[in-house]
Every structure is written in C-alpha cells, then in structure tokens.
Structure 1
Amino acid sequence: MSLFFAFTAGLFSFFSPCIFPLIPAYVANLTGSQIEGGKVIVSRRVLMIRSLYFILGFSAIFMLMGASASALGQLFAAYRDLLAKISGFLIIVFGMQMAGLLTLRFLMMEKRFQVNSDRKKNNWTSFALGLAFGTGWTPCVGLALSSILLLAGSSDTLYNGLFLLTIYSLGLGLPFLMISWLVTYSLGVVRKVNQWLPRLSIVNGWILIAMGFLLFTGQLQKLSAWLATFTPFVY
C-alpha cells in the first residue's frame, strides 16, 4: 500500500499545475531546442538521454531525502506510534489543501534554484537541472512529496524509506518521458490534459487524505499485510 501511494503521489505530482504546463519549456531547456509549428523541434534520441539524466538528478535528491527521513525516524523508534499519528494528521492537512478544502497560504511558499541556461547543453547540465528541480520543488509537488517523506519517516528501516522515494521518483519520471516524447509530435496533448489538471489535483488530494487517515489510525500496515496474503509469493 505504501508503494502504491508513493507511485500515485509521484504520478499526480507530474500532472499538477506546477509542472505539467511547463513540460514544453522543460524539454526546450534540457535540449536547447525550439518550439515551432506547434511542436518541439529536437532529436528524439538526445531528448530521451537528457530526460533520463534530468530524472536521475531529481531522483537522487528525493532518494537522499527519503533516506534522511527514514534515518531520523529510526532515532525516534520508541515513539513510532506517536510519529505515525502526527504524520498521518499532517498528510490529511496536505491532502485537504490539495483538494481545495483548505487554503493555508504558508503551504504554498516555494523556493527555486536556477541553473544557468546560457551554458552549453549536455547530459550533465540536464542532471544539474534535475538536482535543482529536486532541491527547490514547487508548492504542488511539495505537498505530495512531503507526504511521502512523512511516510518514509514512519517506515521500519532506512531502506524502506529509500525505496519509497525511488518509487515516487518513478511515478514522476515515467510520465515525464512519455509526454516529452509526445510533444515532439504535437503540443496538442499538453493543451488537452491541461483541462483535466484541476480535477486531477482534487483526486490527488483525496488520495492523500485516505493515506493520512490509514496512517493515523494504524490501519495502513494492517491493510498492507492483508493484501500481501493474496500474492503468490507469500508463504
């Protein structure tokens, strides 16, 4: 269940007003290409390679955050139940904010780090851009990412927290690759999906509320254990 929530949070983080509408600009910045005739003009091979480096960049930051959150949680292992309740409550608040049920202005604060766009584009500048993106995330990503970090902090081991953020990065990175490829054919796909972004944000908010409620009540681990009994790999 934790992995499901982590992947879903990453997926919905991508389809947020903070990221998705900017995909053509991201692609152009990564590759040094131009937007002409309703599509991004770029070598698709170059695009895929540099997009992978970009994804590796923000994944490295997120995984480091996950390991740190999990390590911090281990220091307070004796208070795991209390931490789970606090984390669950905060995740519920984040979900309500994302679903539009709350409007807490301090949750919309952001910090951005800029990468020099005048430098010659290569794979490592794409990696650096990914690091900057992962370090200075935007408000929409911050709510979902913070929820997964709270979940990582309440995990049993450091590796669990690391793996949770790996799955989150996968949920964020896979659609980035797919949409980046599609915008080299037409930007129409971006315009069509833009119409669904407000609804997707609400869905994401309610998913976070559900995750927070399960964590707060201690049902998340019980539900995961129950679902595990249906897998063919459990003996």
Structure 2
Amino acid sequence: MDVSLWFAFAAGVLSFFSPCVFPLLPAYVSHLTGGSGLRDNKAAAGRGILLSRSAGFIIGFSAIFIIMGASASVVGQFFSDYRKLIEQLAGILIVVFGLQMAGLLKIRLLMTEKRVMTDKPSMNLTGSIFLGMAFASGWSPCVGLALSSILLLASSTDTLNHGILLLSVYSLGLAIPFVIISFVLSHSLAIMKKINRQLNKLAYINGGIMILLGILVFSGQMQVISAWLSSYSLFSL
C-alpha cells in the first residue's frame, strides 16, 4: 500500500471541493452541455449527454495532469544525485502550500489566479475534451497549490511510472466527485448550496493533509510508512 497514492487521491477530491472549483461547477456543466444551462433549479441537459461530455472533460484534464506528472518525474530523474535535497525542498514547499490552503499564510504570489474558460459552449465530445484540457491548464489558488504539491511529490519519486501513477490517481480523485455532483445537478441545486456552506472547513482539511504530506516527504518517512503498511498487509493475508 503506497501512502503517496492515498495523499494524491485525497488531494484530487479536496481540490474539487475547493472554493475555486466547486462553486463554478454549474458554469462548467452548462458549457459541457452546449449552453443548456439550468432550468427549474437543475441542469437542463439529459443524463446521456451529461455523462458523455463529463467523460470527455475528465479525459481532457487527466491527460494534461498526467503529462505534468511525467515531466516532473523526468526532471526529478535528471537530478537523481540530489534526490535527498529535492525531497527536503519539496517537503518544505508542500508545507508552505498547505499553510496557504488552510489560510494560515497569505502569500500574495500564491494567490494569483488564471482561469481558462472558453466563451463558446462545448457542442460535442471533442469540445468537452478541449474544455477539460483548458481547465487543467488554468491555475487557481486552490487547485494550483494541491496540484503543485503532488507534482513536487512526483519529482521526488524513483521512477517515471510512479510519477504518472500519482497524477493519474489525483485525476481520479478529481473525476469521481465531478461525475457524481454533475448527476446530482440533473436533479437539484439544493445539495450544492449545502456543500458550499462547508467549503471553508474543507479548506482546513485540505491544508492539513498537505502539511502532513510535506512533513513526511521532508523527513523521508513516506517510503518507510508505505513499506510498513505493505508488510502488514502481506502479513495479515
């Protein structure tokens, strides 16, 4: 059991439920469904269209994230002789990102935002894929910090495949709640309003997870814990 994969998945889920992404979901759903928008307090598009367009959106952002993960791993491999230093620097930066997420730091540079949202609604699967790629390329204070933390983790991994796996799991953590909430929107917006009221609490959770991840990476305990859990799992079988 690799602890880093659990961190990557949790970061993906909590990135989705961030103040930078979650409130914008109705706008993204509207773009994905060709500008159908909302009607009677719910998404106007049919479930079939919603599913296919959501799949395209997920493919788009996953492709970009995985490419980022592969690139980070390649850079890390290039500086393999300095792996210990890279891990320590990555750990420090991840802790700083976690403190920023939790609102305990207010570094203006980390609060800059770039959103990419095309004015033209998606009319087919290909358009949905490009919208997903645009979403992944648009950095925001919330997603950017969580994603950067996982990319830093990928840069300190031993193999290229593991870096790709980390960002694949991060994408999965982002994709699962996206599909679920998108379908919820086809029924009602009520649950979104309830979740919106809890976003500040989730920011603390997200920040806490990143701080813990940074400490484990800095101290070199990530692999130790993963090895221990793997041994325990094998023993229990």
Q: Considering the TM-score relative to the shorter chain, is it more than 0.5?
A: yes
Partners of 2:185 and 2:234 in 1: how far apart?
A: 40
Mapped pair 1:87 → 2:98: no
Give the letter aligned to residue 94 of structure 1: F
Provide the secondary structure at the position in 1 that maps to 2:233. Answer: coil
Q: 1:36 aligns with which of 29, 35, 39?
A: 39
| Contact 1:152/1:164 (8 A) holds in 2 | yes
The answer to whether the 8 A contact 2:29-2:37 is kept is no
2:143 match: 141
143-152 vs 40-49, which deviates more? 40-49
AA paired with 1:64? I
- How far off is 1:36 after superposition? 1.4
Measure the CA separation in 2 of the matches of 1:179 and 1:107: 28
Choose which of 199, 202, 209 in structure 2 pairs with 1:200: 202
Query: Counterparts of 1:199 and 1:34 in 2: how far apart (Å)?
Result: 29
Paired with 1:110 and 1:101, the residues of 2 have a C-alpha distance of: 19
Please name the residue that 1:63 is paired with.
Answer: 66
- Contact kept, 8 Å, 1:115 with 1:128, in 2: the verdict is no
Distance 1:210 1:28, change over 3 A: same
SS at match of 2:234: coil
Displacement of 1:22 in angstroms is 1.1
Q: 1:123: which partner in 2?
A: 125
The TM-score, its normalising length taken from structure 2, stands at 0.96
**Is the 1:16–1:140 contact (alpha carbons within 8 Å) kept by the matching residues of 2?**
yes
User: 2: distance between equivalents of 1:46 and 1:156?
Assistant: 41
Tell whether the 8 Å contact from 1:6 to 1:148 is kept in structure 2 after alignment: yes
On the 8 A contact 1:92/1:209 being kept in 2, the answer is: yes
Superposed CA deviations along residues 18-60 of structure 1, whole A, max 9, x for unmatched, are 1111111111110021211111111101100100100000000
Superposed CA offset, 1:201-226 (max 9, x none): 10110100000001001111101111
Match of 1:112 in 2: 115
TM-score by length of 1: 0.96
SS of the residue corresponding to residue 100 of structure 1 reads coil
**How does 1:113-192 map onto structure 2 within 5 Å?**
113-117=116-120, 121-192=123-194
Q: Deviations over 1:110-147 (max 9, x none)?
A: 223342415x6111110000010111132110000000
Paired position in structure 1 for 2:25: 23
**How far, CA to CA, are the matches of 2:201 and 2:221 in structure 1?**
27
**Structure 2: gaps spanning 5 or more residues:** none
Task: Determine the C-alpha separation between the residues in 2 that align with 1:110 and 1:233.
Answer: 47
Find the counterpart in structure 2 of residue 219 from structure 1: 221
Asked if structure 2 preserves the Cα contact closer than 8 Å seen for 1:70 and 1:161, the reply is: yes
Q: What is the root-mean-square deviation in Å for CA atoms of aligned residues? A: 1.4
CA contact (8 A) 1:228 1:234 kept: no
In the alignment, the residues of structure 2 paired with residue 30 and residue 233 of structure 1 have an alpha-carbon distance, to the nearest angstrom, of 47
Residue 47 of structure 1 aligns to a residue in which SS? helix
Partner of 1:7: 9
Q: Which amino acid aligns with 1:192?
A: K
